[in-house]
Amino acid sequence: MIISPVTLLTQDQVERIHQTSLEILEDVGLLVHHQEASEIFVNHGCLVNTETNTVRLPRSVIEHFRASIPPKFTFYARDPNFDRTIPDDAPVIVTASSAPNIIDPVTGENRRARSDDIARIAHLVNQLDGYDVFSISTLAEDASADQLTLARLYPSAKNCLKPLRISGPAADAETILRFATLVAGGEEAYREHPFITHHYCPVVSPLTMDVDSTENLLFFTEQKLPCHPSIVPNAGLTSPLTLTATLAQGNAEFLAAAVLEQMVDQGKATIYSTLPTVADIRTGAYAPGAIETGILHIGFAQIAHFYNIPCGGYVGLTNSKVCDAQSGYETSMSCVAALLGGVHIFNMAGLLDALMSFDFAKAVIDDEIALMLKRLMRGIEFSEEELALNIIAEVGPGGTFIDHMHTLEHMRTTALLPKIADREPHLQWQERGSLDTHAHAMLRAREILTAPNDAVFSEDVDARLRDEFKNLVAGDSLPPRGWESELT
């Protein structure tokens, strides 16, 4: 357990950033392209310049609505055993989402992702203990134009009992709701336990609310369904090239979106979610794997703690194209930093190439990193029994603890026992084929994906969905061609 998280800002500095964000919203204002959002702001005490579409948000308005944001957020699951609430269940580990590409698990080719890939990913995420929430990892190239979202949602919901998180075009919002209702067996049943969380990036930095994502955020907020925004400043391009200013501007952007939610449904739960980056100023490259993302997450967490709002977002991403040392250290360094900074939710898993490609081995490796994060969060258990002075005295100088009952009693709890990390002697490792982590992880993925998936819908749920939505994708997690035969 973390007794006290690391801090990189003094409390005075946190409050000065907060004040600066208020000054930004009141004096610089927000460009709001969404008409209804603009009207909501005005109806709750903000000022609009109708020529420029700039809305100014007085600090009293911000402070009033910020105060009603609850301190907790719950992800509901198709199976309530998988419900997760932050901060209580932190770290809540989520897949990173919406990559257009996938590394084909059999050929290794980097290609467009399809709905059958999503079914397999959902199956994998369902089986891996490190994961709490499945944010749909890829797009689906095979989706028909009228089922862009359904072709992702159906295989996900079908193969995974954990909470789902999705974004899609605003035009699909009603379809998602209808889909969820059919799975739950009725609207009331769904609203009691809404297993889909909706996620959007309504603010384009700097300080601009868009049309489509804002529409989505408003729709699901009006529906009183779980949703939250993410704020994505990129220092040097869309925010100033200092961490402090990026925190101040990003915080202003978060406050704008969060306060809009509160104006529609005061008391609505949300997440202080961010994906803060610093551009690689040599090339302008997007660099979400840089350590500055971890540092910024600690900063945002300090602000979120000041507001008492659960926090997190995208962290531990990587620019690497393959599962190599870079993908290992970029993924894990910012995650450990964020965890120890008191971040609650981590969209960290499965993607390579700066959110462009999913890889099954990466997802398995990140599950192991996730379990390490959870072990780290558990910290140091403390009791007189754990202190074991009597055992140390009994064993004595020069003795061994290996065969002591106290050791047996703690063998399942003290240390994480990893599944894919290699700890073999060198010779044994060589004899088993000198496999690297990527190869180990791919074997584990194959083991899972060639076994049946117990999580799938019952036949009547499936029938209801296929009756309503004609030409749904197959949505089954079948072993990729080439794997079954190799296994025999």
> Minimum distance between the CB of residue 315 and its own copies, rounded to whole angstroms?
12
Which C-beta is closer to its own copies: that of 312 or that of 475?
312
> Minimum distance between the CB of residue 302 and its own copies, rounded to whole angstroms?
9
> Minimum distance between the CB of residue 359 and its own copies, rounded to whole angstroms?
10
CA-wise closest residue to 288 among 311, 310, 312, 320: 320
Give the C-alpha separation, 370 to 416, whole Å.
11
Rounded to 10 deg, the angle between the 243-264 and 35-43 helix axes is: 80
Q: What is the dihedral of CA 478, 480, 483, 488, to 10 degrees?
A: 20
CA-wise closest residue to 57 among 263, 277, 238: 263
Which C-beta is closer to its own copies: that of 157 or that of 235?
235
- Scored b (16 or more CB within 10 A) or e, 18-51 reads bebbbebbbeebbbbebeebbebbeebebebeee
> Minimum distance between the CB of residue 58 and its own copies, rounded to whole angstroms?
17
Helix (H, G, I), strand (E, B) or coil at 360: helix
Rounded to a whole number of angstroms, the distance between the first and last alpha carbons of the chain is 45
> Minimum distance between the CB of residue 195 and its own copies, rounded to whole angstroms?
31
What's the half-sphere exposure (Cβ side, CA atoms, 13 Å) at 5? 24
- With beta carbons less than 8 A apart as the criterion, state whether 213 and 32 touch: no
Which C-beta is closer to its own copies: that of 170 or that of 388?
388
Give the C-alpha separation, 67 to 86, whole Å.
18
Which C-beta is closer to its own copies: that of 247 or that of 465?
247
- With beta carbons less than 8 A apart as the criterion, state whether 159 and 122 touch: yes
Which C-beta is closer to its own copies: that of 87 or that of 168?
87
> Minimum distance between the CB of residue 92 and its own copies, rounded to whole angstroms?
18
Using alpha carbons only, what angle is made at residue 322 by residues 481 and 99, rounded to the nearest 5 degrees?
70
H helices within 138-290, ranges in order? 150-159, 173-184, 187-192, 212-222, 243-264
- With beta carbons less than 8 A apart as the criterion, state whether 170 and 212 touch: yes
Which C-beta is closer to its own copies: that of 99 or that of 153?
99
Place of tokens 């959002």: 37
Which C-beta is closer to its own copies: that of 393 or that of 487?
393
- With beta carbons less than 8 A apart as the criterion, state whether 130 and 366 touch: yes
> Minimum distance between the CB of residue 57 and its own copies, rounded to whole angstroms?
12
> Minimum distance between the CB of residue 460 and its own copies, rounded to whole angstroms?
42
Which C-beta is closer to its own copies: that of 342 or that of 475?
342
- With beta carbons less than 8 A apart as the criterion, state whether 451 and 443 touch: no
Which C-beta is closer to its own copies: that of 6 or that of 474?
6
> Minimum distance between the CB of residue 5 and its own copies, rounded to whole angstroms?
6
Give the C-alpha separation, 366 to 214, whole Å.
31
- With beta carbons less than 8 A apart as the criterion, state whether 338 and 304 touch: no
Which C-beta is closer to its own copies: that of 108 or that of 185?
108
> Minimum distance between the CB of residue 234 and its own copies, rounded to whole angstroms?
9
- With beta carbons less than 8 A apart as the criterion, state whether 91 and 332 touch: no
DSSP codes of every residue in 64-80: HHHTTS-S-EEE--SSG
> Minimum distance between the CB of residue 236 and its own copies, rounded to whole angstroms?
5
Helix (H, G, I), strand (E, B) or coil at 25: helix
Which C-beta is closer to its own copies: that of 325 or that of 487?
325
Which C-beta is closer to its own copies: that of 376 or that of 478?
376
Q: What is the dihedral of CA 39, 40, 41, 45, to 10 degrees?
A: 100
- Read off the tokens for 284: 């302008």
Which C-beta is closer to its own copies: that of 211 or that of 478?
211
Say how many residues make up the chain: 488
> Minimum distance between the CB of residue 281 and its own copies, rounded to whole angstroms?
4
> Minimum distance between the CB of residue 483 and its own copies, rounded to whole angstroms?
21
